[in-house]
Amino acid sequence: MALAQAHEVKERIITAHRFSEDAVTIHVIKTTGDRVLDRPLSEIGGKGLFTKEIEEALLSGEIDIAVHSMKDMQTVLPDRLVIGAVLPREDPRDAFISLRHRDFAVLPKNAVVGTSSLRRKAQILHARPDLKVVDFRGNVQTRLRKLEEGVAEATFLAVAGLKRLKLEERITAPVSMEHMLPAVAQGVIGLEVRDDDAAIVPITASLNDATTAHAVAAERAFLARLEGSCRTPIAGHAVINDGEVYFRGQLLSPDGAKCYDVSRRGKVEQAHDLGLSAADEILSQADAALLVRSNA
């Protein structure tokens, strides 16, 4: 997935600036999140699991641009680093994948569902507390193989990732956002740069998609206010239309028993503040014990 995203960024830079093919090179960096596959993400750390080593390479000058899935990005970046651009958003929905069942609603009682996402686990159990959810780590191909081996009846993956890997045919059914609100910034590729790099900053800035940037601003403000991490079931999605932003967010208990849902609408210039306001509403209503766990 990371490699597919890096190649997309390379092609966009070459096209936008008419660079030669060898003017942009890809440097592969393995992160902690890539290497540790025997434990759930919630047990080994927060969102920095997929960014720390890449950001260290950026700060040292080993690389000039870090390519990230924005949903993996921490809300507070290291000193000297900024998001230089976000690319146009791919389909943000989750995909239901099963070899035996046509959609989530028809899964048999007590069926086993695999996912590595605490957010998806909470949403699954909120909708179907009868289901059993097991941890499903590994790349997309590994997770699909686990289905074939019968480890689980079904799983959920991001539609965007499957499309970027040309694996759309493996999607059994996209899941409506009414039933499964995606992770904050799901489907968005972000380009992280050094804030004082006069040569690189304008190159990445030329690729920025303003509509996506406004949506991500609302979503990440919501996440930041709730201090979410891989230990916290948080979902959020914003849509921009005719100069207005519509935002919806959720905070769930890890077992899915509780779900706090909030929405906001306003001008795009207010995107960041709308995300904060939505989070404040949840903070005023959510169970205190849940908030303590969420911010631990």
Reading the block at residue 217, the tokens are: 């601003």
Reading the block at residue 37, the tokens are: 């596959």
In this prediction, residue 136 carries a pLDDT of 86
**Domain annotation for the chain: domains and CATH numbers:** 1-88+187-208 (3.40.190.10), 94-174 (3.40.190.10), 209-296 (3.30.160.40)
Q: Which of 39-43, 258-262, 280-284 has the lowest mean pLDDT?
A: 39-43
Catalytic position from the list 22, 34, 64, 72: 72
pLDDT tier at 290, thresholds 50, 70, 90: confident
Residue-wise DSSP of 155-196: EEEEHHHHHHTT-GGG-SEEPPTTT-PPPTTTT-EEEEEETT
Whether the pTM exceeds 0.85: the reply is: yes
Q: What is the mean pLDDT of residues 235-263?
A: 97
In this prediction, residue 140 carries a pLDDT of 79
pLDDT tier at 296, thresholds 50, 70, 90: very low
In this prediction, residue 174 carries a pLDDT of 96
Reading the block at residue 94, the tokens are: 């989750």
In this prediction, residue 143 carries a pLDDT of 86
pLDDT tier at 50, thresholds 50, 70, 90: confident
**Cα–chain-centroid distance for residue 272?**
18
Residue bearing the bigger pLDDT, 139 or 48: 139
Percent of the chain with pLDDT over 90: 82
Q: Which of 270, 224, 219 is nearest to 249 (CA)?
A: 219
Q: Would you call 72 a catalytic residue per the annotation?
A: yes
Q: What is the mean pLDDT of residues 95-122?
A: 95
Reading the block at residue 112, the tokens are: 């086993």
Residue bearing the bigger pLDDT, 204 or 139: 204
* Residue 165, CB-side half-sphere exposure with 13 Å CA sphere: 19
Q: Is the pLDDT of residue 46 over 80?
A: no
Residue bearing the bigger pLDDT, 168 or 138: 168
Q: What is the mean pLDDT of residues 252-256?
A: 95
